[in-house]
Structure formats: structure tokens, C-alpha cells
Amino acid sequence: MTKPFLKTALALACLALPTLAHADGTLDVVAQFEIQSPEPSTSGYIFTRMGVAETLVNANADGKLTPGLATSWEVSEDGLTWTFALRDGVAFHDGKAMTADTVVNALEIARAKPGPLRDLPITGMVANDGAVTITLSEPLAALPAFLAEFRSQILSPASFAADGTGVAIIGTGPYRITAIEPPLSLDATAFAGYWGAAPHIADVSYSGVSRVETRALMAESGEAKFVFGLDPASVSRLNMLDNVDVLSVAIPRTLLIKVNAAQPFLADPNARRALSLAIDRAGIAKAVLRYPEGADQLFPPSIAGWHSDAIAPLDYDVEAAKTLLKDLGWEAGSDGILMRDGERFAVTLTTYPDRPELPLVAAVLEQQFRAIGVELTINTTNSSAIPAGHQDGSLDLGLIARNFSLIPDPIGTVLSDYVGNGDWGAMNWKNPEFATLVRSLARGEGGDAERAAAAAILQAELPVIPIAWYQQTLAVSDKIDGAQIDPFERSFGLQDMRWAE
């Protein structure tokens, strides 16, 4: 019985040997994201990052908008009519030419699905000769930035079923998909008919690997050439290796506590200031996140205009926090937890494990809040508990990571999160002065002085309590030259990479 087995195994091993040789001509990209289906509204960010699909407008590393599939754009005097001139000679991967009609078709499909385009005051999109005209019911200075977001990617009409569901990703990018196997893999090769410069590396592949430890090991073993999304512990280990370069850049994402300002304990701005003073941000940054510093205001330095050097930084001062709470009528009870009118200062902090650092930071916050007599119960659950708790008012505190520049102009996020009733922003907090400032900025009036003034209001009132600014880290094999991190997380930059000499 063993003999036939051994023979079969040997035969299998011989068959397998030729494929054991690694195809080294492929640039393997590994990240945590899973490909759900060829649907731009859900998995679209993978296709734009891999250079398969493109948008009308691009953004550079400073967040400045640059031409993409549109070469230029202009707005009418009244701010209600935008015209985007389209690039000539652009072809989709199926050979079809990109025309104004195909662009309008892709944008209309995107606008019918959940996403940022749907909530814009768009009244119509018209295809003209070589240009697309978008009309609005009210001025919106940030419209080009919305068209740089991944859900606004321009795909060939053949990419969609009759009901608008994505069935294939036929984009215009430097790479075209040769094989896609949801949920974990995608192969692409250079597209000969690309309008721009041909990529240096012809074959690329994407693999979704959900465990960060595995991703780090793949970088360490040289199995993957470009590994996205590393945890602090892996970064310190990978930094010691010669064959891997670790790149790191500050991205416009902030780790913050979302506060329910209608919760009786938290309604007074001084209570929120006290919680803020109790947080040792430098300690959390160093010990948990291994970042050089914590956040001293909501907007990170990479968000030009909104980050202000003029406003007083958030401090760590336990004694000042205790004094503030004492002035609000709180007295320490027998177990050290504050009491007022027979009620304990006990609140729930809701967070989610999708970003592995969140539960860790929550555990540290529990200790730091206890030091000022505030009892924290941590509830680590599904990420949808944050918006759901916002909607039904059950949330006390939420520890979240918020990206301000999924749309490269933060005005969209600021408007929805702190003026509208955005699920991931302020909760039961309204400030008329702030709302007026931000609305006029959204119309295109005012400049950096108004942005700084708006940021100062958030700093004083603390509708959310900032903790840290994120760093994005990735590991690149020393066999690759020309890798850069896009702080706006729009592209992996594969077309600019080349094999090291």
C-alpha cells in the first residue's frame, strides 16, 4: 500500500518541479484589500491603485489636482456649470475609444450607486464634442476633487451589465487585467494602447493577504516585491533587513475619538477638553503606533491650509483635566471613579478591529481615562456599529480612523462630517460660525485664513478628540527602483517602478 503511494507522490513532485521556478518578471503587489467583484463602487480603489482604471482628475503628492483623463476644466461665472475637456487618443482596454458619451455613461452609473457623487447637487451631465459639461444647482468648488475619487473611475460601457452592475474592469490605465479571481488575486499586463508613457515593468500581480504578519513575512522572504500596509512591529523588524526598503509617509488620516455631544456627561466642551487632557498622545504614538509624535490638532500637516501652526496644540495634563471635571461638579467616589448626583462617570468606547491598532489604543485609553476618574467600557465590534450608533444616538464615544482625503480636497469630508450629519464626524454638535465658514469655502469663497479659523473652532470645541496622525508604511524589495508612497492612497505608482540594475 505504501509503494504505490510513494510512486504517485514522486510522480506528482516531478510534475510540480517545473512550476516551482519563480516567474521573476512579475512585480507582485500584496495588500490587505480583498477584491469583491469587478464592481467599481466597492472594489474600485484596487483597480485605480493597480493602474488599471483612471479618473478624469488626478492628485499629486501635495494634494494639488492635476490633469488625468481630462486635460483641463473650467467653471462658469456663477459656479454652476463645469466643463471638463477630455484627453484625445485615449482607448479603453477593449480597443474602444474614450468619448464624451462613454465618460458620461460611466459617471451616471457611478452616480446611481452609493458614494460621494450621489449626494452632490448635480442637475445634469452632458456629452459635448470632446468635453463633458456638468451642471449644478449650487456652486461646488471641490467638484474636480470628487471626480478624482476612485468611484468616479471611467470604464468602458462593456464593463457594465444592463442594470449598471460591474461585470468587468475595462479601464484606460497603463495596465490591463489578464485574469481576475475574486476575492484574492488579479494579474495585469502593460496595455499597448496606453495614451501615456508605457510602464517599465510589463507584468504585475495583486494578492490580497488579510493577515499583516503574513504580509510582513512575504516582504521579508522576498516573495512579494511591494507590500502595502505594515504594522509597527513588522516595520521595526523589516527596517533591519538589507533586501527590503521600508517607506513611510504621513497620510491625511487621523485617529480620533468621536464624541456624542448630547451625552449628558460629554455635552459641556470642558468635559471633552478634560478627556483630551487625559490622553498621553506622545506615549500612545511611541509605544503603540511607533510614530514619532501624536496629533496636536485634527488635521495633519499634509492637509495644506487646514492644518494651522497658529492654533494652540492639544496638551497632556492630568491635573488640569481633574480640575476641569471638578469645576463641572464631579467628585471622586470610593473606588476613584468620579460621581455626580449619584451617577458614575462611566461611558462606552466603541471601536472595530479592521484596523488592528484601534483596539490596542482603546485599551491604553481605558487606563489613561481611569487616571482622571472616568470609567471606560470598551466595545470592539463591527465597523458599522459606529454609523449605526450615530444614527440611533446610542454611541457615547467611538475610536475611529478617519481619512480626510479619500476625495483629495478635504472640504467634502469636513462639510459632511462637521456641518452635515455625517456618520463618521461630529455627533449632536452644531456651530453656526463654523458652518458658515465651511459652506462659503465649499462654494469657492475664502482661503487659508478661513480654513485655519474653521480648524481653530474644532480645536476649541472638540466635537472629536484627535489622538494621532497616521503614517502609511510599505515595504519594497531592493530589486525595485522608483517606488513612492502616494499620501492620498490613490495609486501604488506601479508604472513608475523599474527593476533595479
Partner 1 sequence: MVAVLIGTATFVMMRSLPGDAAWRIAAGRYGYDNVDAAAADAVRAELGLDGPALPALLQWLGDLARFDFGNSLVTGQPIVDEIAHQLGASASLALVAVLLSLLIGPPLGILAGLRPGGLLDRVLLVVSTGIKAIPQFLLALVLIVVLAVQLRWLPAAGHGEARHFILPSLTLALGLAAVNARIARDAMARIADMPFWRFAKWKGLSERQTLMRHGLRNVSVPLITYLGLQFVTLVEGVIIMESIFGWPGIGHALVHAIFSRDVPMVQGTALVLGLGFVMVNALIDVAVRRLDPRVAA
List interacting residues with partner 1 (CB under 8 A).
Answer: 1-2, 5-6, 8-9, 15-16, 19-20, 22, 28, 30, 34, 36-37, 39, 41-42, 113-115, 118-119, 165, 181-185, 207-211, 213-215, 217-218, 220-224, 352, 354-355, 381-385, 387-388, 390-391, 403, 406, 422-424
Q: What residues form DSSP beta bridges with 399?
A: 257
- Phi/psi region, residue 438 (left: phi>0; alpha: psi -120 to 50; beta: rest), is alpha
Q: Are 53 and 154 in contact (CB under 8 A)?
A: yes
CB 295 within 8 A of CB 255: yes
Q: How far is the CB of 8 from partner 1 (least distance, A)?
A: 8
Least spacing, CB of residue 227 vs partner 1, in Å: 11
**Which of 208, 179, 116, 193 minimizes the C-alpha distance to 153?**
116
Residue 39 or 409 with smaller CB distance to partner 1 = 39
Smaller CB separation from partner 1, 82 or 228: 228
CB of 40 to partner 1, least distance (A): 12
Nearer to partner 1, 179 or 198 (CB): 179
Distance of closest approach, residue 177 Cβ to partner 1, in angstroms? 15
Q: Which cell goes with 287?
A: 509605544
- Smallest separation (angstroms) from partner 1 to the CB of 157: 19
What gap in Å lies between CA 228 and CA 33, rounded to an integer? 10
By C-beta, is 76 or 391 nearer to partner 1?
A: 391
- When the beta carbons of 70 and 244 are compared against partner 1, the nearer one is 244
Burial per residue of 395-412, b for 16 or more beta-carbon CB atoms within 10 angstroms, e otherwise: bbbbbbbbbbbbbbbbbb
* Structural contact between residues 399 and 351, judged by C-beta atoms closer than 8 angstroms: yes
Return d(Cα 195, Cα 93) in angstroms, integer: 11
204: which 3 cell numbers? 504585475
State which residue, 67 or 387, has the beta carbon closest to partner 1.
387
Contact 352, 323 (CB under 8 A): no
Q: Which is nearer to partner 1, 211 or 479 (CB)?
A: 211
**CB 275, min distance to partner 1, A:** 23
**All cell numbers assigned to 453:** 479659523
| Closest approach of partner 1 to the CB of residue 464, in Å | 16
